[in-house]
Amino acid sequence: MLVPPIGCHDEFKGDTSMSTDVAAPAAPAPAPVRMTAEQREAFERDGYIVLPGVLSQAELIRYTAAIDHLYARATRLGEIARDGSLHRLSAVAACPELADLMTHPAAFPMVWQTLGWNVHVYHSHLDVHPTVPSAKPFRFEWHQDGGRQNREIESNPRPRMSVKLAFWLSDVSEPGRGNFKVVPGSHLTNRIDGPPRRDVEWPDPEGAIPVTVNAGDAVFFDRRIWHARSDNHSPITRKAVFFGYTYRWVARRDEAPAIPAVLAGLTPVQRQLLGVLGGRANHAVDGGDHAWGHFPDEVPLYGYLKENGLLDPGFPPLIP
């Protein structure tokens, strides 16, 4: 657990109203959830699944407060978009309190049960989207994650490469609240119809639906699924945190936290996910071979899974 006054709370270090009580010893970590056969079938068929009630009420309050403090600071610094929104990349570097979300025991196991143990977070972001006017310039937002992967990898369908977890801190249980929109099953489709330019008005793809979830739910999705964010026309400010996980031999977009006190508060698995081994970013063991999985016993997630009897033979280490 990270100490609250670090990172996106740093502007409040002089606030004497914050408690200085010594925290009670952390409770034992709950056992990781296992993806059920039904979840696996739905994920492979639809390209996403909803994980209800991932966050407790206490977690929901804590993570929302952290993002609210960051948003307040960004507002003072003039970093907010003209529509009042905030889209901040490198979620943990921007707000270290969010680090525990990366490895949440009710959601993170979906990642390593899908991609295996040689993974890291290559891309993450936190988002705050207040109500927008009903009239807004059109922009066609439908896309697959992965950027140039979708132009430069020759296969049909494209390989999965990465998965994403979206943690919802606001209630999007009804359409019109800035919902995550998807086309179920489209992760196996390389192309959808779209306009010649993104500012040309165009209907949503056939079969598109808004994903309606409660605050505290998470959505686990294949990066290939065609998706978009809808506008928020409700009085509820949309707040969410996204983590994208891929293999460690794929380059990271994210920045790692640079504050020593933040790094000291991370678990070994969290340091792996942030590309920080040996206490510094981009640490390599024996050159680039480490990221390729040649040294599984030095990979924290591999060690954790091995110690707890959770290794999947479908993700074996390389032959020595």
Give the lowest-confidence range in 3-7, 171-175, 185-189, 221-225.
3-7
**Predicted pLDDT of residue 29:** 62
- Can you spell out the DSSP letters for 135-195? --------B-TTTTHHHH---SSPP--EEEEEEE-S-B-STTBS-EEE-TTGGG-S-----
Task: Return the beta strands (E) in the chain as ranges.
Answer: 48-51, 86-89, 119-129, 162-168, 180-182, 209-211, 218-222, 227-229, 238-247, 276-277, 280-281
**Predicted pLDDT of residue 320:** 65
The tens digit of pLDDT for each residue in 235-289 reads 999 999 999 999 999 999 999 888 888 888 999 999 999 998 765 555 545 456 7
Q: Which amino acid makes up residue 168?
A: W
Q: Give per-residue burial for 272-286: e unless 16+ CB within 10 Å, then b.
A: bbbbbbeeebeeeee
Mean pLDDT of 72-97: 96
Place of tokens 């110690």: 307
**Predicted pLDDT of residue 80:** 96
Residue ranges covered by each domain of the chain = 30-258
Mean pLDDT of 104-124: 97
- pLDDT exceeds 50 at position 131: yes
Higher pLDDT, 3 or 297: 297
**Predicted pLDDT of residue 59:** 98
**Predicted pLDDT of residue 245:** 98
CB 243 within 8 A of CB 121: yes
d(CA 243, CA 122): 8
12: confidence class by pLDDT, cuts 50, 70, 90: very low
CATH, range 30-258? 2.60.120.620
1: confidence class by pLDDT, cuts 50, 70, 90: very low
**Predicted pLDDT of residue 257:** 87
**Predicted pLDDT of residue 288:** 66
Alpha-carbon dihedral 86, 89, 93, 97, rounded to 10 degrees: 50
Mean pLDDT of 220-238: 97
3: confidence class by pLDDT, cuts 50, 70, 90: very low
Q: Which residues contact 154 (CB under 8 A, 6 or more apart)?
A: none
Higher pLDDT, 69 or 319: 69
- pLDDT exceeds 60 at position 13: no
Residue 226 structure tokens: 């065609």
Give the lowest-confidence range in 24-33, 129-138, 304-313.
24-33
Give the lowest-confidence range in 76-80, 106-110, 137-141.
137-141
Whether the model pTM is above 0.85:
yes
